[in-house]
Structure 1
Amino acid sequence: MGVKDAITEKLTLALAPLELEVADDSDRHLGHSGWREGGETHFTVKVVSNAFAGKSRVERHRMVNAALADELAGRVHALAINARAPGE
């Protein structure tokens, strides 16, 4: 399973999102720190979930980071997060 698929699966299980977009931005970081041959190092995640209701931006990011701890400790070098509750 690729990193993008693993991110999608883990966020789906952890947050039951109403909307989820996972974009591999690695090609835009060629030659930058953390980039590796084959990509799958830099991602942008946009997620809308009821789990974020009443949570601060920092709390939401921590929830995403916790769900993706293995990926962040391994191949993923950078993760941009846009986490919203429904209606935001």
Structure 2
Amino acid sequence: MSMKDTIASKLTAEFSPKLLEVIDESHLHAGHSGWREGGETHFRIRIVSTAFQNQNRVAVHRMINKALSEELEQRVHALAIDARAE
């Protein structure tokens, strides 16, 4: 399974989003810190979920980072997050 699919699967299981986009932006960071041959190091996610209601931006980012902690420790170098409550 690709890292993009792993991220999508974990976020879907954790937050049951109404909208989810996982975009691999690794090619934009070639040669930069954290980039590796083969990509799958830099991602942007757009997610809309009722799980984020009554949460501030920092809390939502922490929730997402916790759900993806294994990926962030192992392979993912950067994660840009656009998260909204439904």
- Work out whether the TM-score is over 0.5: yes
Q: Which 4+ stretches in 1 moved above 2 angstroms?
A: none
Percent identity of paired positions between Structure 1 and Structure 2: 59
Gaps of 5+ in 2: none
How do 1:68-79 residues align onto structure 2 when only pairs under 5 Å count?
Answer: 68-79=68-79
Q: How many matched pairs?
A: 86
In structure 1, the residue matched to 2:7 is 7
Mapped to 2, the partners of 1:72 and 1:21 lie a distance apart of 18
Q: RMSD in angstroms over aligned alpha carbons? A: 0.4
TM-score w.r.t. structure 2 length? 0.99
In structure 2, the residue matched to 1:25 is 25
Deviation string 1:42-87 (CA, Å, 9 cap, x unpaired) is 000000000000000000000100110000001000000011001x
In structure 1, the residue matched to 2:16 is 16
The alpha-carbon deviation at position 23 of structure 1 amounts to: 0.1
**AA paired with 1:15?**
F
TM-score w.r.t. structure 1 length? 0.97
